[in-house]
């Protein structure tokens, strides 16, 4: 059975006090369903502190460098994340691809490093508006997955969830419509089935991300191949995230 996943991507927001309060509130007050897992991808500097309050929420890092240690000034290693009791990592977010030039090849190294250290991976993919306008979104996203994720063995792949986030819908207030979302999610699931098998495809959680909020969550989650969401702006308040959780 596919697991439902609701993940908060706090990006570079919140103070430590706000983050701690919100994390505790998420843990105590979000609706709990069997088969639903919550993730919080927090700014790295808060991870140690948040892990001391860890309840049922999976604590994740938004970024790391794919090496255990070394001369990489300013970077955070997988060992640092393990020290902070982090159990998940976000890889391939479009903001990291765009602003920090993370290539498909580099993302593959991050995926390998994460899997090797036992982290659960939420891997992001998604096309720009320019790519969609050319109607090349399916081949573009397929290539992102093939380049960075589909080299994994089936058992490694099963520790990953995939988040489809069209870049033009992130933080813009513009969401993809149900037809666009379902087309992509259905395609991703069939590529997984071709690459691995239908059992692996049916066990992989596929999330949608991009301006998801309490108003549009119901229609997004009604798409048969959507198993949850990766939420940015609306995850910065309890009310915003809770409204979305109630629609899952």
Residues with catalytic function: 93, 165
Closest CB to ligand PGA among 80 and 97?
A: 97
214 binds ligand PGA (CB under 6 A): no
47 binds ligand PGA (CB under 6 A): no
170 binds ligand PGA (CB under 6 A): yes
- Please check whether residue 36 is in contact with residue 18, taking contact to mean a CB–CB distance below 8 angstroms: no
The whole-angstrom separation of Cα 15 and Cα 70 is 29
Closest CB to ligand PGA among 196 and 241?
A: 241
Q: In sequence order, what are the beta bridge partners of 6?
A: 38, 229
The whole-angstrom separation of Cα 155 and Cα 172 is 36
The whole-angstrom separation of Cα 224 and Cα 210 is 18
Which one of residues 78, 205, 211, 225 is an interface residue with ligand PGA (CB under 6 A)? 211
Please identify, among the stretches 69-77, 109-117, 151-159, 229-237, the one whose residues bind ligand PGA according to the rule CB under 6 A. Answer: 229-237
60 binds ligand PGA (CB under 6 A): no
Q: Closest distance between ligand PGA and the C-beta of residue 170, in Å?
A: 4
Closest CB to ligand PGA among 148 and 213?
A: 213
230 binds ligand PGA (CB under 6 A): yes
228 binds ligand PGA (CB under 6 A): no
Binding residues for ligand PGA, how many (CB under 6 A)? 13
The whole-angstrom separation of Cα 164 and Cα 166 is 6
Long-range contacts made by residues 181-184, C-beta under 8 angstroms, separation at least 24?
Answer: 181/208, 181/220, 181/223, 181/226, 182/223, 182/224, 182/225, 182/226, 183/138, 184/137, 184/138, 184/141
- Please check whether residue 43 is in contact with residue 62, taking contact to mean a CB–CB distance below 8 angstroms: yes
233 binds ligand PGA (CB under 6 A): yes
Please identify, among the stretches 14-22, 143-151, 164-172, 214-222, the one whose residues bind ligand PGA according to the rule CB under 6 A. Answer: 164-172
Q: Give me the DSSP letters along 206-223.
A: EEEESS--TTTHHHHHTS
Q: Closest distance between ligand PGA and the C-beta of residue 212, in Å?
A: 5
127 binds ligand PGA (CB under 6 A): no
165 binds ligand PGA (CB under 6 A): yes
Which one of residues 43, 66, 209, 228 is an interface residue with ligand PGA (CB under 6 A)? 209
The whole-angstrom separation of Cα 230 and Cα 103 is 21
The binding site for ligand PGA (CB under 6 A) comprises 9, 165, 170-171, 209-212, 230-234
């Amino acid at each position: 059975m596919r697991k439902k996943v609701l993940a908060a991507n706090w990006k570079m927001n919140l103070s430590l006090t706000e983050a701690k309060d919100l994390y505790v509130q998420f843990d105590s007050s979000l609706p709990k369903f069997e088969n639903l897992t919550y993730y919080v991808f927090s700014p790295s500097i808060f991870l140690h502190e948040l892990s001391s309050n860890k309840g049922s929420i999976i604590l994740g890092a938004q970024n790391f460098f794919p090496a255990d240690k070394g001369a990489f000034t300013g970077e955070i290693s997988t060992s640092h994340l393990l020290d902070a009791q982090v159990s998940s990592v976000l890889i391939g977010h479009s903001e990291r691809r765009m602003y920090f030039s993370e290539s498909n090849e580099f993302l593959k190294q991050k995926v390998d490093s994460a899997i090797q250290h036992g982290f659960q991976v939420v891997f992001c993919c998604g096309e720009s508006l320019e790519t969609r306008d050319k109607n090349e979104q399916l081949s573009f996203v397929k290539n992102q997955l093939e380049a960075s994720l589909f080299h994994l063995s089936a058992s490694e792949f099963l520790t990953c969830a995939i988040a489809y986030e069209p870049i033009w819908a992130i933080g813009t207030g513009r969401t993809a419509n149900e037809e666009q979302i379902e087309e992509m999610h259905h395609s991703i699931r069939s590529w997984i089935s071709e690459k691995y098998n239908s059992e692996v495809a049916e066990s992989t959680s596929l999330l949608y991300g991009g301006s998801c909020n309490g108003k549009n969550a119901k229609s997004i989650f009604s798409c048969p191949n959507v198993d949850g969401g990766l939420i940015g702006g609306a995850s910065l308040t309890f009310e915003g995230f809770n409204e979305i959780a109630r629609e899952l």
